[in-house]
Amino acid sequence: MSAERPTRRFPLALGRIAGAVANERAGKQTRPGARASALIRPQRPLAAAHADAARATTAVGLGLDSADVRARMVERLRRDGVADARVLAAFAAVPRHAFVDAALVTQAYEDTSLPIGHGQTISKPSVVARMLELLFGGSNAQAAGDLGAVLEIGTGCGYQAALLCRAGRRVVSVERVKALHDKARELVAPMRQARLRLVFADGMLGHPPGAPYDSIIAAAGGSEIPQAWLDQLALGGRLVSPVHEPGSRGQALVVIDRHVDGYRRRVHEAVKFVALKSGLAR
């Protein structure tokens, strides 16, 4: 009795699939019910996939680049009480989405703070607008119609620095975290802000070479205002910074004006900023 020949199902199945794929490429129809072409399809080239991804990113960017998107944010700020036309114009001009990570870009125009890495955040638009409006209340700013010479403590991603360039004659922005300093330089470069100087240094020391400053604004808060900032504030100048007030559970916005006979300090609403630190972080 002769032995039965084994059934070679797997190679034959592969043969049928390969034949169907060949027919499909030649423009022929496979027999009804055949699913070979659904099982095996040539993969799209990697370059084509990248091109599609780039087109999708561009489409999102074009939408966010629309002036209408920023106009809606500006209108919300106006409804919330921001009245200074110079502040609102700055927010209308600077694209916030260009300063946040790609994964968070859809939240760029919401009134929320967003992480930018290294334990830092980009502040809420409403808080930034409030601080800029307070700066415009300084004596020098009122006399000149702009913020004059500005010192910013804490560059972060560079968004607030870009806003300040719309409001001041020259801006010095100091950042202690080297990675953020480099990131900000890259992000503001396309805007060609000739009046902006980014400095990698300890912000608690201010920046004496550019002093005195008509306006000083800080994006981090400690238990007190560093003496270096007060020394670098011009006569008639104004400083706005979050400060951890004694006896309170958190920070509050503090405004300091420099007069001939000394400094005047006023405490405003509660805020929440990252902690002010000294030294450099590479």
* Per-residue pLDDT tens digits for 46-93: 444 434 433 333 334 446 878 899 999 999 999 999 999 999 999 999
Is this prediction's pTM over 0.75?
Answer: yes
Model confidence at 14, pLDDT cuts 50, 70, 90, reads very low
pLDDT at 26 over 80: no
pLDDT at 245 over 90: no
In this prediction, residues 157-176 reach a mean pLDDT of 98
Model confidence at 96, pLDDT cuts 50, 70, 90, reads very high
Q: What is the total residue count of the chain?
A: 282
Q: Is 125 exposed, middle or buried (0-12, 13-18, 19+ CB in 10 A)?
A: buried
| pLDDT value of position 22 | 44
pLDDT at 5 over 70: no
Average pLDDT, rounded, for the chain: 84
| pLDDT value of position 219 | 96
From residue 142, how far is each of 98, 145, 167, 238 by CA, in Å? 31, 5, 12, 11
Cβ proximity of 208 and 232 under 8 Å: yes
| pLDDT value of position 173 | 98
Q: How many CB atoms lie within 10 A of CB 16?
A: 13
123 is catalytic: yes
| pLDDT value of position 64 | 80
d(CA 165, CA 177): 21
Domains belonging to the chain, first-starting first, are 66-275 (3.40.50.150)
pLDDT at 218 over 80: yes
pLDDT at 29 over 80: no
| Closest by CA position to 172, among listed 181, 113, 9 | 181
DSSP state of 261: T
- Residue 278 contacts by C-beta under 8 Å, 6 or more apart in sequence? 176, 202, 204
Q: Which of the following is catalytic: 2, 37, 66, 123?
A: 123
| pLDDT value of position 63 | 67
Higher pLDDT, 39 or 205: 205
